[in-house]
Amino acid sequence: MHELSLVEALLDQLTSTAQAEDLQRITALTVSVGTLSHVSTEALRFCFEACQRGTVAESAVLTIESETGHARCPACQREAPAQDWLDCCPYCGQAGRQIIRGRDVRLKSIQGLH
42 interacts with other proteins by CB under 8 A: no
DSSP label of 3: H
Among 50, 76, 77, 108, binds other proteins (CB under 8 A): 108
Interaction with other proteins in 54-73: which residues (CB under 8 A)?
A: 58-59
- For the bound state, the minimum distance from the C-beta of residue 45 to other proteins, rounded and expressed in Å, comes to 14
Where are any strands of DSSP class E within the chain? 25-34, 61-67, 69-72, 79-82, 98-101, 105-113
Q: What Rg, from alpha-carbon coordinates, does the chain have?
A: 17
Return residues touching other proteins (CB under 8 A): 1-2, 4-6, 9-10, 12-13, 17, 21, 23-25, 27, 31, 36-38, 58-59, 74, 85-86, 95-96, 99, 103-114
